Amino acid sequence: MCFTLEATDGAARAGVLHTAHGDVPTPAFMPVGTKATVKSVDPDELRALGTRILLGNAYHLHFRPGEDVVAEVGGLHAFMGWDGPILTDSGGFQVFSLRDTVLEADDDGVTFRSVYDGSPERFTPELSARIQERLGSDVAMCLDICPPAGAPRAELEEAVRRTTLWADRQRGLSGASGQLRFAITQGGLDPELRARSSAELTELDFDGYAIGGLSVGEERAPMFAAAAAAAAALPAEKPRYFMGIGDPEGVIEVIARGVDMFDCVLPTRTARTGSALTWEGRLNLRNARFARDTRPLDEGCACPACTTFTRAYIRHLVNQEEILGLRLLSLHNLRFVLDLVAAARNAVERSNFSAWSAEALSRLARPTEKDLSV
Ligand SMILES: [Zn+2]
């Protein structure tokens, strides 16, 4: 078994994902290294921040530099200098989220224009599995169909049907040594379709299951309801991965609904816009009110930015577009989410998750900088 469930508290779970490159305590946040790098942060820094597993992306690595190049130089772990676990996304989300680039989709695969040079390309379940085998990731994701938020029921139903069809074809394919394979459930916000997708994919028996097609721009309350329904329909003894959530409140909400793993570019993307995730809400460091602020970004944080530098200095760096400013904010934001998830795990182990999460959500909901400046 690739997953050990250690404790539950309500629907929230604490466990361990076992991979060929080591164990990952769950719940686990996976920093996103789309192009074989978590932007501006090196592997030693990621490790020091508490990262246990990274995410890479089959779509982008297929086009640049190509999975054969990565394989020939020793695989994705050696290529990017990270010896811990790596999960690779299948490319389905990239293909279908760039909808204008899709030329044709049928039961065999999907043809689209590459974002790199516009040339027509075709992904099939078999190619996606092959790319991830060549990359040598620890967890490979099945190619799926990811409809946009608000898609009509007929489109969601077709996505569920084709996603199951494709998962069935990927199930028996060869993978890298020790590589786990997760299927991705679909069904949008429709409870019946979510249940159907979970049931069909569970029947096919994968190492783990992702909840896909959510966090694509829909309202949050129905999204969390759909996540709860999707998680509850999956087998308790297998890991559950919610794709694409990484804001502090969202992370807590999906852990509360029984999710074990998640990823998002939010911490690093937020950093590149000059903002810090803190217990005071999101701080825009460009704001003049930080010009003489000698406090760290967040009082309780032990990241390299908070232990050494002031808000005043980081504001100066950000406003001058100095690279160090963006790097310090990236280190801090990753650490903030990783610490939050570690605290959530601790609360599950102590059977204190509901009290912990209520307090954490109320702290995070305090007036934000925007409210204060009105
Ligand atoms: Zn910090």
Q: Is the pLDDT of residue 364 over 50?
A: yes
Q: How confident is the model at residue 366 (pLDDT cuts 50, 70, 90)?
A: confident
Q: What pTM was estimated for this model as a whole?
A: 0.97
The answer to whether the CB of 243 falls within 8 A of the CB of 184 is: yes
User: What is residue 372's predicted lDDT score, i.e. its pLDDT?
Assistant: 53
List the one residue out of 354, 147, 361 whose CA is nearest residue 251: 361
How far, in Å, is the centroid of ligand 1 from the Cα of 345?
Answer: 20
- At 307 the three-state DSSP class reads helix
Cα(133)–Cα(285) distance, integer angstroms:
42
User: What is residue 100's predicted lDDT score, i.e. its pLDDT?
Assistant: 85
How far, in Å, is the centroid of ligand 1 from the Cα of 237?
Answer: 35
Cα(41)–Cα(358) distance, integer angstroms:
32
List the one residue out of 262, 123, 288, 141 whose CA is nearest residue 201: 141
How far, in Å, is the centroid of ligand 1 from the Cα of 42?
Answer: 17
Tokens 């310090």 -> residue: 328
Residues with CB under 5 A from ligand 1 (ion): 301, 303, 305-306, 332
Scored b (16 or more CB within 10 A) or e, 242-269 reads bbbbbbbebbbbbbbbbbbbbbbbbbbe
Residues tagged active-site? 89, 263
Q: How confident is the model at residue 374 (pLDDT cuts 50, 70, 90)?
A: very low
Q: Is the pLDDT of residue 347 over 70?
A: yes
Share of the chain above pLDDT 90, in %: 94
- C-alpha 296: how far from chain center: 27
**Which residues does residue 99 pair with via DSSP β-bridges, in sequence order?**
none
Once rounded to an integer, what is the mean pLDDT over residues 215-240? Answer: 94
Once rounded to an integer, what is the mean pLDDT over residues 151-157? Answer: 96
How far, in Å, is the centroid of ligand 1 from the Cα of 338?
Answer: 11
Q: Is the pLDDT of residue 369 over 90?
A: no
Record the tokens describing residue 345, joined without a space: 């795990």
How far, in Å, is the centroid of ligand 1 from the Cα of 198?
Answer: 38
pLDDT tens for each residue of 192-223: 999 999 999 999 999 999 999 999 989 999 99
Tokens 């680039």 -> residue: 101
Cα(139)–Cα(77) distance, integer angstroms:
13
Q: How confident is the model at residue 153 (pLDDT cuts 50, 70, 90)?
A: very high
How far, in Å, is the centroid of ligand 1 from the Cα of 247?
Answer: 15
Strand order in the sheet with 54-57: 28-31, 261-264, 240-242, 208-211, 180-185, 139-141, 86-89, 54-57
How far, in Å, is the centroid of ligand 1 from the Cα of 366?
Answer: 19
Cα(22)–Cα(221) distance, integer angstroms:
35
